[in-house]
């Protein structure tokens, strides 16, 4: 039993990470196993020591976003890991709709980079996608005051708003329109939640942008 278990796990993680970034950038169909392995510093043949088929890395690549130990730079610039409640919810909205996120195709959330790809994927990827979505729903859900519509109902709508705004921004050929889409989504979220009146100054982002 050469190559320690940790070594194999490390390698496997590198493969998943490189798969995630390449899928984000080029889509599942346009990425080859050689691309993935090359970006992980390996050669194509070794892939099958870790996975049986290309599809088998798809779900893990999607989940890597929420399982990774370190958040992406665009997240770190807007989200204080110590934040809680509405302050955290606000930071998540800011991060998602930020210019940083817009520009980071490789490191973006799979809900932004891959929704229509995943919709055509197998049960497994779509399960992974759902788990990413439910994580975001969970972050929003508990930060609404009681009202007629349930908290979950409103949280789902917010996720649709934030994801929809960014997905459309990425798909149009007009930078100004893309900015407008992100801005209008952000304003709409704040109009319905009031989260923009939450103080986040003492939990300041590392760098302001977007």
Residue 10, CA distances (Å) to 3, 5, 196 in order: 11, 9, 41
Stretch that binds a copy of itself, among 8-16, 86-94, 148-156, 201-209 (CB under 8 A): 148-156
Tokens linked to 128 = 């992974």
Selected binder of a copy of itself within 11, 17, 99, 188 (CB under 8 A): 188
Binding mask 9-38 for DNA (x = CB under 7 A): --x-------------------xxxx--x-
Chain centre to alpha carbon of residue 49:
28
168 binds, among a copy of itself, DNA, none (CB under 5 to 8 A by kind): a copy of itself
Site string for DNA, 47-76 (x = CB under 7 A): -xxx-xxxx---------------------
Q: Binding marks (x or -) toward a copy of itself, 101..120, rule CB under 8 A?
A: ----------xxxxxxxxxx
DSSP state of 120: T
Q: Which residues contact 127 (CB under 8 A, 6 or more apart)?
A: 59
**CA distance linking residue 181 with residue 146, whole number of Å:** 29
Distance CA 57, CA 40 (A): 14
Positions touching DNA (CB under 7 A) are 1-4, 7-8, 11, 31-34, 37, 41-46, 48-50, 52-55
């Amino acid at each position: 039993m050469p190559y320690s278990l940790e070594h194999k796990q490390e390698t496997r993680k590198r493969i998943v990470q490189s798969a995630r970034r390449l899928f984000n950038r080029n889509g599942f169909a346009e990425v080859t196993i050689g691309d993935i392995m090359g970006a992980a510093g390996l050669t194509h043949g070794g892939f099958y020591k870790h996975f049986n088929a290309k599809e088998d890395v798809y779900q893990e690549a999607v989940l890597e976003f929420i399982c990774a130990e370190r958040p992406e730079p665009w997240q770190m610039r807007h989200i204080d890991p110590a934040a809680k409640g509405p302050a955290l919810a606000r930071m998540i909205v800011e991060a998602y709709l930020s210019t940083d996120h817009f520009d980071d195709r490789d490191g973006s959330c799979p809900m932004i980079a891959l929704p229509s790809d995943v919709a055509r994927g197998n049960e497994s990827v779509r399960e992974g996608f759902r788990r990413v979505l439910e994580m975001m729903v969970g972050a929003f859900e508990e930060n609404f005051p009681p009202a007629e519509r349930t908290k979950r109902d409103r949280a789902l709508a917010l996720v649709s708003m934030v994801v929809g705004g960014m997905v459309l921004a990425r798909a149009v050929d007009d930078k100004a329109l893309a900015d407008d889409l992100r801005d209008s989504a952000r304003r709409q979220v704040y109009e319905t939640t009031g989260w923009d009146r939450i103080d986040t100054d003492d939990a300041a982002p590392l760098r302001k942008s977007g």
